[in-house]
Amino acid sequence: MSAQPPFLERIARSPVIFDGAMGTMIYQRGVFVNACYDELCLTRPELIGAIHEEYVEAGADVIETNSFGANRMKLGAFGLADKVEAINRAAVRLAKQAAGEDIYVAASVGPCLPLEQPFEKERIAELSAAFSEQLSVVADEGADLIFLETFDKIYELQLAAEAAKALGLPVIASFTICEDHGLMMGLPPEEFAAQRLDADANVDLVATNCGRGPAGYLGMLPRILRATSKPVIVMPNAGGPREHGGRMLYLNSPEYFTEYAKRFLEMGVRGVGGCCGTGPQHIRMAARALHALSGIEHHVQVAAAPADADRPVRVVPLAEKSRFAAKLAAGDTVTSVEILPPRTGGKLEAFLDKCRQCHDAGIDAINIPDGPRASTRISVLLAALAVLQETDIEPIPHYCCRDRNLIGMQSDLLGGWAMGLRNWLIITGDPPKLGDFPDATGVFDVDSIGLTQVACGLNHGYDASGKAVDPPTGLLIGVGANPVALEMKREIDRYFAKIDAGAEYAITQPVFDADALLRFCDNVGGYGRTIPVIVGLYPLISLRNAQFMNDHVPGVVVPDDILERMAGCETREDGIRMGVEIAREIRARLADRVAGFQASAPLGKTQVALDVLAD
């Protein structure tokens, strides 16, 4: 058994990474498809063991045994029905040897019936006996959990789950949905299956695997997640053909797989792995990215109150902090434009010219991202100081927790305040694994909630250790919000935690669904403390741009109707006009419910952002 915590406790804490395909790897080693791959546990154990070791080295948290078809009925086709026990024991032993004490071993158990054969009630006793025979062996040999996978018949899957649960191990029940499956009981098949498994006491986790590539799961997963309260795992194939510019392309690179794996995690799944066509290279890249995304440890304790709590301190009122803060305090509508800091110092003047252009158009502030998507650009603080000193518009530097420890962050906040930087947006930051330097170290002493508490402490005259800061700062503390998060309860809980920590305003992710933003406002409006919400607007410039935002930017959802509108644009100019029109429609719909708007400048096109905010 693994020396890790029990599997259900582990996956409740943070998502896990499963391994990739076994059959694909065996075939690539020169074993023809007409061989019994399960028997290789006996005849070529070094091959199977080496594949397991590759997945462990790649970073998988869970590896599956090579026993998918090792039941009496499937082995009988090869004349091996009498080797059920020997093959399954060898399969578990080989996986455990590779896993050591730190990796979980999941016993892989597939269906007894072929894909084309219907489920018949008359065979229930035969099927139950076959599942029980295989499952009892893998459990006795020391597997950590049971993975029932690639079942296309929900009734057979539930029959296997009943046999598995009797052994006392966690049970993952995974179904596969082929492209041509129709509705079941009036529901999409994935939603029907998830509902049935959610109500099944023999199932601990719901999963879906095989059948399609990563892109094919994007539409399915929201329905699955809504249909079950149990943890969800997804294991797609490496990828299938997609039409691009009249060509059919097979987008099955590790990078392609990982981009979708990140999106799945953002949607709320608790485990990701690979099925047909995936290998250690896919799992290695996905594991690096997803381990970084799966949770920030709060290592540093932040003082909740100063050591000398009785010391008189004048806290700077909101209206006195900055011009931007004064408009928020007065309830006036605020506007800002997000402009990326340049990659090279030689382009700083062009960056400042864009800021001046915004000032001349009557914009209140410039939002300056801090190393977006873990990329390298001019220091956000230096860029903000340049805006402050060289233009007449106020900067709002985004400040993320990724690159500095708690000492450095406090120094930056104090130094920025001393130099005149009043407005701040505090964010956790994209992990380095997602950017240009995947081997760089992310610090994350605290996340955005913790740093908000630190900044609030500085405003009240004490630092993170409780020592006096005299005079206190007057930082305007902003935070991020995602009104379309699938795990909305978690998002709202974090939003309230940011308010409790001292947040004074929020800026949302780009909003393409006005109704989702209104629902978010309704959900948070009843909280005892509220803060002004500034809506992020992103004017799309093309269908390709819209698809990229929808598929690859965490926290962003572009509705189908907007994709259809962008698809109807024949020229680049048409696309830009349509993007501005859509953003202005969203702005008009939300104008009486929010404190203001921030418009992004796509591809550095400042005028496009100004067109969105123009009266």
Q: Are 393 and 355 in contact (CB under 8 A)?
A: yes
- Please give the pLDDT value at position 196: 93
User: Model confidence over 126-170: pLDDT tens digits?
Assistant: 999 999 999 999 999 999 999 999 999 999 999 999 999 999 999
Contact 393, 359 (CB under 8 A): yes
Q: Any idea where the domains of the chain sit in the sequence?
A: 7-293, 333-542+578-613
| Rounded CA separation 146/173 (Å) | 9
Q: Which pLDDT value is given to residue 334?
A: 98
pLDDT class for 67, splitting at 50, 70, 90?
Answer: very high
Region 289-302 average pLDDT: 57
Contact assessment for residue 112 and residue 71, using Cβ atoms and an 8 Å cutoff: yes
pLDDT band at residue 297 using 50, 70 and 90 as cut-offs: very low
Instruction: Record the tokens describing residue 426, joined without a space.
Output: 């505090």
The average pLDDT across 306-327 equals: 86
Of the candidates 140, 149, 129, 121, the one whose C-alpha atom is nearest the C-alpha of residue 72 is 129
Average pLDDT over residues 294-311: 58
Q: Is the pTM of this model over 0.75?
A: no
Interval 248-272: pLDDT, tens = 444 578 888 888 888 888 788 999 9
Question: Alpha helices of 445-513 — where are they, by DSSP H?
Answer: 448-459, 488-501
Residue 337 has pLDDT above 90, yes or no: yes
Average pLDDT score over the chain: 89
CA atoms within 13 A on the CB side of 314: 5
The hierarchical CATH code for the domain 7-293 is: 3.20.20.330
Residue pLDDT, tens place only, 468-484: 999 999 999 999 999 98
* CATH class for the domain made up of 333-542+578-613: alpha beta
Q: Give residue 121's pLDDT band: very low, low, confident or very high (50, 70, 90).
A: confident
pLDDT of res. 293: 57
Compute φ and ψ for 300, nearest 5 degrees: -100, 130
Task: Give percent of the chain above pLDDT 90.
Answer: 67
pLDDT at 180 over 70: no
> How would residue 354 be classed by pLDDT, with cut points 50, 70 and 90?
very high
DSSP state for residue 101 in the 8-state scheme:
T
In angstroms, the CA 56 to CA 99 distance is: 7
Q: Which pLDDT belongs to residue 145?
A: 97
Q: Which of 166, 112, 157, 159 is nearest to 139 (CA)?
A: 166
- Phi and psi at 69, nearest 5°, equal -105, 20
Asked if pLDDT for residue 295 goes beyond 50, the answer is no
* pLDDT confidence of residue 454: 93
Go through the chain and tell me how many residues it has: 615
Cβ atoms within 10 Å, residue 497: 17
pLDDT value of residue 181: 58
Residue 511 pLDDT > 70? yes
Q: Is the model's pLDDT at 104 over the cut of 60?
A: yes
Token code pair at residue 95:
């996986």
Alpha helices in 294-343, H assignment, sequence order = 323-330
- Could you tell me the pLDDT band of residue 298, with boundaries at 50, 70 and 90? very low
pLDDT over 50 (residue 113): yes
Q: Among 305-309, 527-531, 536-540, which stretch is predicted with the lowest mean pLDDT?
A: 305-309
**Once rounded to an integer, what is the mean pLDDT over residues 530-538?**
96
Task: Establish whether domains 7-293 and 333-542+578-613 are of one fold.
Answer: yes
Q: Label residue 199 exposed, middle or buried (CB < 10 Å: 0-12, 13-18, 19+).
A: exposed
**pLDDT confidence band for 301 (50 / 70 / 90):** low
DSSP state of 146: E
pLDDT for 189? 85
Amino acid 1: pLDDT: 55
Nearest by Cα to 201 from 248, 164, 148: 164
38-70 burial by CB neighbour count: b if 16+ within 10 A, else e? bbbbbebbebbbebbbbbbebbbbbbbbbbbbb
Give 209-230 pLDDT, tens digit per residue.
998 888 888 888 888 998 999 9
* Cα 170–chain centre separation: 25
Which tens digits make up the pLDDT trace of 384-426?
999 999 999 999 999 988 778 889 999 999 999 999 999 999 9
Rounded CA-CA distance 127/133 in Å is 10
pLDDT of residue 248: 46
- The Cα 221–Cα 229 span in angstroms is 13
- Between 328 and 467, the more confident residue is 328
- By the 8 A CB rule, do 291 and 436 touch? no
DSSP state of 202: T
Task: Give residue 23's pLDDT.
Answer: 92
Instruction: Write down the pLDDT at residue 484.
Output: 84
Average pLDDT over residues 428-457: 72
Torsion angle of the four alpha carbons 566, 570, 576, 577, in this order, in degrees rounded to the nearest 10: -90
Residue 247 has pLDDT above 70, yes or no: no
Residue 116: alpha-carbon gap to chain centroid: 36
